[in-house]
Structure formats: structure tokens, C-alpha cells
Amino acid sequence: MKIKIALIFLGIFISTLSAEEKRFIVVAKDGSGNFISLTEAINSLPMFNYQRTTIFVKNGIYNEKIRIDQDYITIEGESRDSTIIQFSQLRSDWQKNKDSIGPAVINIFGDDFILRNVTVENTQPEIGPHAFAIYGTGNRTIIVNSNLKSKGADTVSLWRHKDGMYYHANCYFEGSVDFVCPRGWCYIKDSEFYEHKKTAAVWHAGGEDKNQKFVIVNSKFNGVDDFELGRHHYDAQFYFINCVFPDNMSSKEIYRVTYPNEPERDRPFNWGKRYFFYNNIFNNKKFPWIKNNIEKELANKINAEWTFDYKWNPERIDSLKIIQYKIHQNQLHLILKEKVTVINNPKLKSSNGKIFNYLSGAGSDTLIFSSNNKIEKKDLKHLKIINEGKILASQATVVKRYLSFRLK
């Protein structure tokens, strides 16, 4: 009887562990996945997530708002226009009756979050008031190939003001006032912006560090007649490179918002106007204040890694590197440059046929493998994974980066 009870508890433990360690979760409205809502999928995650976990969302309209507290989460839709996460939420209503989820459709509080191939829309109908589609204070946030929509202000509000870094590519942004408004460092490329109101499309706060900047490259702006390009309240730094501006955009240059009748509301302005332009495109209307004011040599260097002052490169494509290895009898310890995600218990084989089974290390920078007998240096030549296991970097990058088994 005792043995039977012990086996039952062991089964429960293994089942729970398996659920917590699941790296790929499917959400489907029709019940064909692991869960029918994003809320259920997120609630299934452990409180502390140490490895990259992908929540794949099948096509459908998901009328819910969600909160991401864990690190290393990817939400990936089946298709950009048909995987729709929507909710009607005015910021003012949330402030009057706060819930634990947050004021936006997607609320991001974990680091290294990736959003891909989805439409996120705050469906409240009024033009003007604050109505977030995305809000968050996580670091190293990536949004790619997605539509981010709101009729209100502050559609995409990533506000980790001291050290936040955000990367967006091939996205469509829609809103009314300051509808893309990062605090910290932000790089956007190959995207479109649509302004619903005669107000500023983009906004930046970069007062915590003089190097904080908002860089927009190869992107198009559009909107109602006389919409404004940008403004700021705090110190800010804007770069527009190879962007397209329409004739119906306001002639008003980027400006700082001040309060002459309430000077106590003014924010510090220590570093002056920092609005930089290079090789932008117009049709018939000219904007005298949009002119090349940086050197071509610098403009050619401006990319994501430069934007983030070389602290993070979301576009890196190099393999994970093993910087050191140690042999302990029948165990092989691989020391890496960064933390990794381990999928499906990878099994290694060397050129002389030696087999190494994965033991531990997922979520850290050290992996341990074991063999049936003592390991020698000659057993480590040309290691490769021979099953369905995978080892990849956990930090957010646009392209998945896998481990290279080259040993020095």
C-alpha cells in the first residue's frame, strides 16, 4: 500500500514537473491545442521561468487581456492578420478600478519577451484618450511582424525608463496621441505608422542616460491631415533614417511640451534639441526642419546594436559558444557565454561513437552531460546532437541561436 501511494505521488510530481518544463504550448479557440485562451496558458507557467517558452496561438479572435511576469516568453501567432488578441480598455477606467492584469491588452513585466505574427488591438472606440495595446516595464522586448492598434493614445508604451531596450521590425502602429512612446532605448525598422488625430505620432523619454535614443529606420508615416511627427516632455533623442513622410503631415517640427502657467510640471531639459535626420523621402511638400544633419558615415553605422550602445544585439545570428569544458570522470561540463534553453533532453555523439546523455544545466550557463564510462579528451571530437533535443540561447533575439559544439 505504501509503495502504491509513493508511486502515485511520484507520478503527480513527474506530471507537474513535465508541465512546468514544457517549452512549447499551443493555444487554440477550437480546443485543438493545450489551452483555449492565452490566460490559461500563462497561468500554467511556473512563477519563475528560466528558459525560453513559446506560446503558439492559432488563428482566431481572443478577447482577453494578459499579463506576462515571467522572463523568456515568446507569444507567436499562426498568422499576423488572423491571430487577433483584443480587449476594450481605457486607461482611465482601469485607474478607477484597477485589476491585477494591467491597463493594456498585453502587459509585459518580464524580461526578454518576444511577440511575433499577431494583431493586438485595444478596441475601445474613442479617438484620443489613453488606451494601451501594449504596456510594460520589461527589458529587451522584441515585437516583430505584428499589428499594434488603438484609436486612443499611447498604443505601444514600453516604460522601463532607466535601462529599457526595445526592438520592433516589420510592424504596423496605429493610434492617436504619442502612440509609440518608449522610455529608454528603442529601435524600429521597416514599419508603418498611422496617426488618427492632429497630434504627435511618436514620443520619447530619454532623461535617465544621455545615450538613450529612439531610432526609426526605413519606415513610413501617414495619418489624418496635419498630424504631427513627434514631441517629448523629458530630454529626448530622435533619429529618422530613410523614412517616408507624406504631404499631409503638419509642418510643425518636433517639439518639447512645456507648461508656461504651471512651470512646476516642466521636466528637466539638460541636453537641448536632439533631432537627427538622414536621407528621408518626401513627395511634393518640403519640411525645412527635416534635413540631413548627421554624417553619412555615422548614418551607415546606425543599426540595432549601435542604438543599444552595444549592450544588446537583437539581430545577432552567431551560434552559442562554449568558452570552456571540464571532464570529471564520466561527466562532461560545458561552460557557455550565456544562459540557455534545453529542449527534449539532447543526446550527443562524438566521431568515435561515444554517447553523452544530458543531465542538467537548463536555464544556466553550464550544461552537464554524462557517459557510461570515463571520458577522455579524444572522445570530444565532432560532437553533435543525435536526437530531437535542442540547445538554444534564452535571451531575446529575432533569430533563434543554437549551440555550436566546437571545443577549444
CA-nearest of 30, 21, 27, 52 to 40 is: 27
Q: How confident is the model at residue 408 (pLDDT cuts 50, 70, 90)?
A: low
Q: Are strands 53-57 and 24-27 parallel, antiparallel or unpaired?
A: parallel
Based on its alpha-carbon atoms, the radius of gyration of the chain, rounded to whole angstroms, reads 24
Res. 297 pLDDT band, cuts 50 70 90:
very high
- Are 164 and 311 contacting, i.e. CB atoms less than 8 angstroms apart? no
Mean model confidence pLDDT for the chain: 94
Using alpha carbons, list the distances in angstroms from residue 311 to 51, 126, 154, 398, 400: 21, 39, 26, 16, 19
**Cα separation of 58 and 44, whole Å?**
18
Q: In this structure, how many other beta carbons lie within 10 angstroms of the beta carbon of residue 258? A: 13
Instruction: Dig out the grid coordinates for 46 from the structure.
Output: 511556473
Strands (E), 218-270: 220-223, 228-232, 238-241, 255-256
Beta strands 347-349 and 390-393, pairing class: unpaired
327: left (phi over 0), alpha (psi -120 to 50) or beta: beta
Residue 9 pLDDT exceeds 60: no
The single residue listed with the C-alpha cell 529575432 is 398
Q: What's the rounded mean pLDDT across residues 242-247? A: 98
Three-state SS at 180: strand
| Rounded Cα gap, residues 118 and 32, in angstroms | 19
How sure is the predictor about 400, in pLDDT bands with cuts at 50, 70 and 90? very high
Handedness of CA 50, 48, 147, 232 (dihedral sign): negative
Q: What share of the chain has pLDDT > 70, as a percent?
A: 95
CB within 8 A of 3, min separation 6: which ones? none
At residue 21, the pLDDT reads 57
Phi, psi of 276, deg, nearest 5: -120, 140
% of the chain surpassing 90 pLDDT: 93
| Domains in the chain, CATH or no CATH each | 56-307 (2.160.20.10), 322-393 (no CATH)
DSSP string over 16-65: HHHHHT--EEEE-TTS-SSBSSHHHHHHTS-SS--S-EEEEE-SEEEE--
Strand 366-370 relative to strand 331-336, pairing: antiparallel
| DSSP codes joined into one string, 83-123 | EEEEE---HHHHHHS--SS-SSSEEE-SSS-EEES-EEEE-
Alpha-carbon distance 185 to 165, whole Å? 5
How many angstroms separate the CA atoms of 71 and 48, rounded? 8
Per residue in 19-76, pLDDT (tens digit) is 345 899 999 999 999 999 999 999 999 999 999 999 999 999 999 999 999 999 999 9
Between CA 303 and CA 196 the distance in angstroms is: 29
Range list of H helices, 275-374: 296-299, 304-307
pLDDT at 7: 40
- For residue 241, the cross-strand partners are 217, 278
How many Å apart are CA 210 and CA 270, to the nearest integer?
A: 9
How many C-alpha atoms does 389 have within 13 Å on its Cβ side?
Answer: 21
What is the four-CA torsion angle of 14, 16, 48, 318, rounded to 10 degrees? 60
Predicted confidence at residue 15, as pLDDT, reads: 35
Provide φ and ψ at 16, rounded to 5°.
-65, -45
91, amino acid identity: R
